[in-house]
Structure 1
């Protein structure tokens, strides 16, 4: 399947199975102009809803309740689906980007699809389906700023995905504390893949940035107005996971202090 057509299907189909379809073979030969999709097509059940201040994730002290843990997994599945759609957006928006960059995004997208699937499987065991609870636009509100690959990388790989290097271990340990090892195990996969995704982002930032600019300056310059380096970390800072993602020590300290 052609990469362009695959990304287009993900963003224009309202069917979840189309968004999660992962071709065994992908080609990238079509010559296309950039296509900017304003918003992904979704079924009524998966539509974006406005979030009220009361609809926050359950606090950690409520994780002893299965329904609260299920709510967390539903929210995370929604985040992963957004990541799938945003990466498809990048494939359509940057058709002239290096082929190896586009291939890397495609591989990352496939892993995000697998994350959605493992969340959905566990949610089903807990009696919950995607769309049973509201789904929010969240990360998609940043897409309008993705006018070049560096802005995409700075937001997705080096802010949102890097923050998950902190959040995923935190939720894993909390779920384990209350004996939900089936859900906790999901985060092992998430952490392993996020390390690779962050590493991909840093590697390509270094390749695409102005050669006279430091990687940190390139990162902060290409962050959109809604973001700051502080958004690239969670509650409990994981230096070791960032090191595994090949993030330099000076970066790690700047993020820690942000």
Structure 2
């Protein structure tokens, strides 16, 4: 029987987006059916597989995409979101494969379920791009999204602090405005997709917060102050308001975590 780590590694090394989505979903189904052994016997790759397109650019070379009012702007916005979700597949699977041996089995259950959600989100966004006459890979994309995984590869609490509790939590802050903008433009199809992603993001942030607090309790560390120290060390951006306090609170991420670091 194949190990779950071997299956996860295959997902991470898959380059083509549609193949990665299909393989990710298959691994989650196999895990849930008990068809993968709960064994962590292979290392995760330092870098995941990437397709030839999109061209990956550093942040300072990314073209400005506007606010999505025109169809061209919406395509640029959807492409940027699709790229975030594509990288998020790897972030979730890497979380399960790299750190699963250090946590209870439920940790792997949770992060593989997050990976399945991210694969579904990517597929929805790519389908919407195609309906608008474009597709994932047609525009340049941000090259730095994997950096947070690279710098936290040695520490599961640092990874949990930065990826779900900072980066994905930021999605809770900005997505409602993006949904409203799409509706004002008459693009209900895009608004429904983003609404679905928003709902799932609350759950993902909640999973990250819950496992971060579990790890802190195991290590007898104060959660909020340790989170703040990790964010200062491993997150290169700033925590900038406005914050969606109610959605963050629903995920267990209270202002006592991020309030002291807000700029």
Same fold (TM over 0.5): yes
Classify the secondary structure of the residue corresponding to 2:101.
coil
Give the corresponding residue for 1:207.
214
TM-score by length of 2: 0.86
Classify the secondary structure of the residue corresponding to 1:193.
helix
Please state how far the C-alpha of 1:188 moved relative to its aligned partner: 0.8
1:55-78 superposed Cα distances (whole Å, 9 cap, x missing partner): 244222xx3210111110001100
Question: Residue 69 of structure 2 contacts residue 185 of structure 2 at CA under 8 Å; is this kept in 1?
Answer: yes
Give the corresponding residue for 1:139.
145
Of 222-231 and 238-247, the range deviating more from structure 2: 222-231
Alignment partner of 1:117 out of 114, 123, 134: 123
1:184-214 superposed Cα distances (whole Å, 9 cap, x missing partner): 1111111110110111111111110155432
Give the corresponding residue for 1:126.
132
Question: Residue 74 of structure 1 contacts residue 130 of structure 1 at CA under 8 Å; is this kept in 2?
Answer: yes
Pairs within 5 Å for 1:1-258? 2-21=3-22, 22-23=25-26, 24-26=29-31, 27=34, 28-33=36-41, 35-46=43-54, 49-51=56-58, 53=60, 55-60=62-67, 63-98=68-103, 99-146=105-152, 147-210=154-217, 212-223=220-231, 225-227=233-235, 230-231=238-239, 236-251=242-257, 253-254=259-260, 257-258=262-263
Q: Which runs of 4+ in 1 moved over 4 A?
A: none
Question: Residue 175 of structure 2 contacts residue 198 of structure 2 at CA under 8 Å; is this kept in 1?
Answer: yes
Higher helix share: 2
Aligned-partner Cα distance in 1 for 2:52–2:257: 42
Change (3 A) 1:69 1:204: same
Classify the secondary structure of the residue corresponding to 1:171.
helix
Aligned-partner Cα distance in 1 for 2:107–2:59: 37
Classify the secondary structure of the residue corresponding to 2:145.
helix
Matched residue count:
252
Structure 2 unaligned residues grouped into runs of 5+: none
Aligned-partner Cα distance in 2 for 1:248–1:201: 13
Supply the RMSD in Å over aligned alpha carbons. 2.3
Of 88-97 and 70-79, the range deviating more from structure 2: 88-97
Structure 1 unaligned residues grouped into runs of 5+: none
Aligned-partner Cα distance in 1 for 2:258–2:230: 18
